[in-house]
């Protein structure tokens, strides 16, 4: 950024779920080199997320079916 001493090997990452409201000054050349779009997770992605977040939770595997939950949440994005 302007006014600071030059630095090397610095990586800055930022994320938003509202790219439509970003200030255009942030998107000028030289500010961010790349924009990576991460889409909504598919069935396997949702199942993986559920497994990660329930790994340390004691559950009755007969009553809790993570695959059924993942199938029941297509396109779902929580905020």
pLDDT at 13: 82
pTM over 0.75: no
CA distance 79 to 76: 10
User: 52-56, 64-68, 75-79: which has the minimum mean pLDDT?
Assistant: 75-79
Residue 11 CA to residue 14 CA, distance in Å, equals 10
Per-residue pLDDT reduced to its tens digit, 16-62: 888 889 888 888 888 887 888 888 889 999 999 999 999 999 999 88
Does pLDDT of 79 surpass 60?
no
Q: What is the mean pLDDT of residues 71-79?
A: 74
Cα angle at 75 between 20 and 72, to 5 degrees? 160
Q: State residue 77's pLDDT score.
A: 63
> Any idea of the CA torsion for 17, 57, 43, 78, to the nearest 10 degrees?
-20
Burial category of 2 from C-beta neighbours within 10 Å (exposed 0-12, middle 13-18, buried 19 and up): exposed
């Amino acid at each position: 950024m302007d006014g600071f001493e030059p630095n090397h090997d610095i990586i800055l990452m930022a994320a938003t779920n509202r790219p439509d409201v970003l200030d255009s000054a942030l998107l000028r050349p030289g500010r961010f080199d790349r924009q990576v779009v991460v889409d909504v997770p598919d069935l396997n992605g949702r199942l993986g997320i559920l497994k990660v977040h329930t790994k340390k939770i004691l559950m009755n595997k007969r009553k809790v079916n993570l695959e059924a939950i993942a199938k029941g949440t297509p396109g779902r994005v929580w905020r």
